[in-house]
Each structure stands twice: as structure tokens, then as C-alpha cells.
Amino acid sequence: MPEGIIVKALSGYYYVKSAGSAEEPVQCRARGIFKKRGVSPLVGDRVIYEVTENGEGTVDEVLPRSTELIRPPVANVEQAVLAFSVAEPALNLQLLDKFLVHTENAGLDTIICLTKSDLLDSEDESAEAASQETITMQDAKQLYEQIGYTVIITSTKTEDGISEVRSRLAGRISVFSGQSGVGKSSLLNALVPGLMLETNQISSKLGRGKHTTRHVELIELEGEGRGLVADTPGFSQLDFVQLEPEELSGCFAEMKRIASGCKFRGCLHQHEPGCQVIAAVESGTVAASRYKHYLVFLQEMKERKRRY
């Protein structure tokens, strides 16, 4: 039986593209055994499938996954591309840090794309987030590059940064995600000519975009190295169901590097004596905004545990 990859899941059907084939994906149903086992095939799964007489098919086996994301539901992703606009809507560092916690927890390489750079006035590049934090685009770039992330400033109107993003997608499965209305679909349209994903303008009343992406789908890039990218529904919030409070600092790359030096095992970096993270915040080695968001997320996790 042939091997392929699920490139789209919609209304109970799985669309499987044969490995190394240029043919259209085969529309498949999953065998009932998956439901009995409590397993659901995911977009990105490498599968064994069988083509039936009517030209459709059945997914018979899901091969072992290297990674698995729950929100968005994608398997075998190697890197995440987080799209965050610097204007309309304004750059939201707290939400960006929340996404980074999830990509770090999933073990993904992460690229941060600061979109809509053409909307900034050259004399005033400040972007004010919902939390009333203010930071310039260049300062944000420097902050996250110092931590170790790749940060690319993009504009689909001027095509700034588009070729750099495309080169980093070659030969890999990447997931695109980010806040609603930041230009993810526009960015993918620029990366894949002829794609024509639906885009929507920002609602002036709500200050955020409509969700234009309804399902997860892998899109094949053209050119050298190719690569597959997943366009995913935008999120206004993420939870921390899979994480324990003691694991949170391990999802802040700069804190993870120094937390082992804390005096107490299981240090939560709040007020414990001999805490290396607190010392690094005081010295400026760890950014105050990142530490502030760490404490916000920690409180969210503690409140969730009390509820359940």
C-alpha cells in the first residue's frame, strides 16, 4: 500500500498526497479502528493508505509522529512561523510570548515575522499593545534576536522580507500562526503566487481581524527546496493545559539557560532567595517585559489548577 501525507482534513475526510507524487491528493476516510483506539489522524501525519475502486481511499495506518500540536492540530511540524503585526492591530508582546511558550514546549524552531511594516510612520515606529506596553519595531526585533529567535520584518505591499522567509521554509514542514488579522493569509499569498487565500480587513469597531482561515491545510511551496506550510486559524487566546507551573520557565529560552543555577530546586522565580532569574531581571539580562509575562502566565496556570 502507498505512503503519503495528510495535507488537509475537512468534514471527516482526509486528503492524502502520495509521497513524491505530483498528482492531486486522494480523498480518504479513516478506518474505524482509529476511533476505537481514540486516535484521530492529523494534518501532517505520514500515513499508509489504500485507494478504493471509486477513486477514493482509506487511511489504514498513521506512522509515528516527530511532533504533535493540539492547537492548531498539526503533526510532524519542524518549525513555527509566528506572524505578528506592528500596526493594525498593534504589536502585542504578551500574546507573542504566549505563542512562544507553546512553540518552545512543542520543541519547534521558531521564526518571528513582524508584518505590515509599511503601515508604520518612519518618524514614529512605536506600537502600543493591548497591555499598554510600548516598543518600537526595531527594539522588538533586537529583544527577540538577543534571546536567540530569528526575526524577519515583512511587508506584503513592499515585499520586504518575503524572499528571506521563503528561503527559511525550504525543505521543511512549517506552521503559520499568530493573532487574528495580522496578515498571515496575505503573507502566504505573497509566498505562494496564485494561492489567493481569503483575507479580511481589520474591524475598526473591534480592533481585530475576522478569522479568515477555517481549517488547517498544508500548502506546497514552489521552487528549490519546496517545503510545506500550514495555514492555521488565528487565535485570540491560548491556554496552558499541557504545562505545569514548574515547567513554564523552561519555555522561556533565556530563563531556561540560567534557571539551573537557582538555589532551590523547583524555583518558580517569584521571590525565592538565590534565584538567578530574578537576579538576571534586575541586571537587565532578562527583559522586564518577558519576566512580567512569565508571572502573568504563571498566575493563569495556578488559577486553572485551583478550578480543576
Using CA atoms of 222, 155, 85, 10 in order, give the dihedral in degrees to the nearest 10: -30
260 is in an annotated binding site: no
236 is in an annotated binding site: no
Residues 17 and 32: their CA atoms lie apart, in Å, by 21
262 is in an annotated binding site: yes
67 is in an annotated binding site: no
183 is in an annotated binding site: yes
209 is in an annotated binding site: no
251 is in an annotated binding site: no
234 is in an annotated binding site: no
Nearby residues of 213 by Cβ (< 8 Å), 6 or more positions away: 184, 185, 197, 198, 231, 232, 233, 234
4 is in an annotated binding site: no
Residues 73 and 248: their CA atoms lie apart, in Å, by 21
Residues in the chain: 308
178 is in an annotated binding site: yes
**Positive or negative: CA dihedral 133, 156, 103, 8:** positive
Residues 114 and 74: their CA atoms lie apart, in Å, by 23
CA angle 262, 267, 268 (to 5 degrees): 130
Residues 41 and 35: their CA atoms lie apart, in Å, by 10
57 is in an annotated binding site: no
C-beta separation of 260 from 274 below 8 A? no
If we measure between CA atoms, which residue out of 1, 95, 108, 4 comes closest to residue 47? Answer: 4
12 is in an annotated binding site: no
Q: Is 125 helix (H, G, I), strand (E, B) or coil?
A: coil
Residues 138 and 124: their CA atoms lie apart, in Å, by 12
Q: How far is CA 259 from CA 143, 278, 289, 296, in A?
A: 19, 10, 18, 18
101 is in an annotated binding site: no
Residues 197 and 52: their CA atoms lie apart, in Å, by 31
181 is in an annotated binding site: yes
184 is in an annotated binding site: yes
Distance of alpha carbon 300 from the chain centroid:
20
From the annotation, which residues make up the binding site? 115-118, 178-186, 262, 267, 269, 275
From the annotation, which residues make up the binding site for Zn(2+)? 262, 267, 269, 275
From the annotation, which residues make up the binding site for GTP? 115-118, 178-186
